[in-house]
A and B are shown apart, each in its own frame.
Chain A
């Protein structure tokens, strides 16, 4: 009996393999881009790791966007989905295999002029997007002809990759000798697979699409704080250092010098704890804070206030 789990194993395996017409010996070499001022520069490229463990970075095509592109050393070139191309105003010329992008910007500052792209809908993207598997729409693929222009440093524990621009222009993959028009039939495996994009759309109709994650901005109180440590007891306290005029905190009569003891029912003895207790408040939420006011000479008072969180950061 076939175990379901064993079938599922490859569910998320997306591998892009290209069989490029043989231009054997055509080695990538230094490009004629010595004048490009970005050569030698490094860029911090923010990325998002999808639910399917794919790296997505954002690009702008001729200034339009941003769009989510997959970083994929297994793809031979730059692929732009047809819908993305339409949004970016790219018009593939009939009969031309490549569409030239005048300017491709990568988030983080890298810029590539005059890049050849293939406008196409790889069925992998169609299928994954139809089912909502990655948790974000994927608008295209950054393959070898883009990636090879950089030295890539990828560390999943950091929020950005580091891409250093090389003086290196990889050759474009050659245009197929047998265009799709010639009716040169691909291998049977490929024909089967080509049917899968529409199949996934059908499945999505039956099963529903995985919704994208919804994000909300954290609410705003309008106070600055600092952690102070008592030299004798070693006890640390969160002290309000400033209350912004007209802010929700000011309206609740919080004052600079107050000490934050409890936030939303959680005891606060450090900034870390304070942040954690308030990490998920949203605008409009009532937020209960317990404060201590006054120093030892005076009578120390404890007061509890409820602030309505506002918008801002």
Chain B
């Protein structure tokens, strides 16, 4: 290994630690090593049926995390945290070995015994079975601390690579999630980001295209204005959908199709999703008073 490679690995590992370590944020709220109640036993999940909407119960840990009981390759159940803020799914070494996700003699790195990417052949939570789930095998220090505080280990984290496969609903009152399969291409961050980090700092450019024709001209282009109320309309073309809806020059657009329009960029992002021929609500300020108008954009450019 060259000196340069070593240096890069150290750099990258610093980053890795930085991002994973955020897990420990809540430690500032105080570590409690006693007084945790044992979790209620997991509901025994019935064998997976081919239902459209799978139901998965969860329980809340005293640390305010959602815990699900998962079977991995028929082994378990294991205790996994369901985390909307985690971009990837992670399993501990012990569980990965016990469930056959990695072989016991698979090489480990010197850092947190990381074994890198692996694939779970079959993961079951509640009514849901998913297959070929990419995971990272790593003994996360935050999970270790959490497990110690709880007196029971936490075996991993379910993140974006899992839930982006579904239309997910989370009901904290019912302690229940539902999952309906969708077809969403999940970006491979692990291939994309390191290259971008190491590569040239190219600015990506994107043109925001309105989907329909409104007949409006707005104030000067701005990408983001903090604390601005909205975007002033400079001109309304006669006979256009905007004119028919009653919009006038001087009106300040504050909300379009339920999206805040604090900058011209916001307006364009909002109109990119508005189909022609359908009414959409627009909130404006006119003489300091809020009004809501309905606009039906035409098809055009």
Contact = CB atoms under 8 A, between A and B. Distances in A.
Interface of A: 1-25, 28, 43-44, 46, 51-55, 58, 60, 64-66, 70-77, 79, 87, 107-109, 120, 122-125, 127-128, 131, 133, 141, 143-145, 147-157, 159-160, 166-168, 170, 173-178, 180, 186-187, 189-190, 192-193, 196-197, 199-200, 203, 207-218, 220-226, 241-242, 244-247, 271, 274-275, 278-282, 311-313
A174 B29 CA distance: 7
Nearest to B116: A6
Contacts of B170: 73, 147, 151-152, 154
Contacts of B15: 11, 127, 131, 200, 203
Given A52-B193, A75-B25, A200 B18 contact: yes
B62 A20 contact: yes
Which of A17, A55, A156, A215 has the most chain B CB atoms inside 10 A of its CB?
Answer: A17
A28 B221 CA distance: 46
A53 B187 contact: yes
A196 B193 contact: no
A214 B115 contact: no
B213 interface: yes
18 contacts: A10-B90, A11-B189, A15-B81, A16-B83, A17-B146, A20-B62, A46-B259, A53-B160, A153-B169, A154-B163, A187-B31, A189-B24, A196-B21, A217-B265, A223-B300, A224-B300, A241-B300, A312-B218
A218 B268 contact: yes
Interface stretch (B43-51, B70-78, B106-114, B119-127): B106-114
B41 interface: no
A150 B116 CA distance: 35
Contacts of A166: 171-173
Contacts of A20: 26, 29-30, 32, 62-64
Interface in B128-158: 136, 138, 140-146, 149, 157
B197 A19 contact: no
7 interchain residue pairs of minimum CB distance: A18-B26, A124-B22, A72-B85, A6-B116, A176-B30, A193-B21, A22-B35
Which of B8, B203, B267 has the most chain A CB atoms inside 10 A of its CB?
Answer: B203
Contact of A15 (B140, B168, B206): B140
A246 B158 CA distance: 56
A197 B15 CA distance: 10
Contact of B260 (A66, A154, A187, A225): A66
A178 B239 CA distance: 67
A200 B12 CA distance: 10
Nearest to B301: A221
A199 B14 contact: yes
Which of B24, B168, B239, B260 has the most chain A CB atoms inside 10 A of its CB?
Answer: B24
B188 to A, nearest CB: 10
A18 B86 CA distance: 14
B169 A151 contact: yes
B172 A168 contact: yes
Contacts of A72: 83-85
Contacts, number: 447
Contacts of B268: 215, 217-218, 313
Interface of B: 1, 5, 8-9, 11-32, 34-37, 60, 62-66, 81-88, 90, 109-111, 114-117, 136, 138, 140-146, 149, 157, 159-160, 163-164, 167-173, 182-184, 186-187, 189-190, 192-194, 196-197, 201-210, 213-218, 221, 223, 226-227, 235, 237-240, 258-260, 262, 264-265, 267-269, 271, 273, 298-301
Contact of B25 (A13, A17, A145, A167): A17
Contacts of A218: 207-210, 268, 301
A215 B239 contact: no
A108 B256 CA distance: 10
A152 to B, nearest CB: 4
A141 B21 CA distance: 16
A136 to B, nearest CB: 10
Contacts of B184: 156-157
A97 to B, nearest CB: 8
B208 A55 contact: no
B116 A148 contact: no
A18 B203 CA distance: 36
A159 B86 contact: no
A227 B111 CA distance: 61
Contact of A207 (B197, B227, B238, B298): B197
Given A8-B16, A14-B20, A203-B15, 4 more contacts: A5-B190, A14-B19, A17-B81, A71-B84
A7 B182 contact: no
B21 to A, nearest CB: 3
A159 B30 CA distance: 37
A1 to B, nearest CB: 6
Which of B146, B169, B223 has the most chain A CB atoms inside 10 A of its CB?
Answer: B169
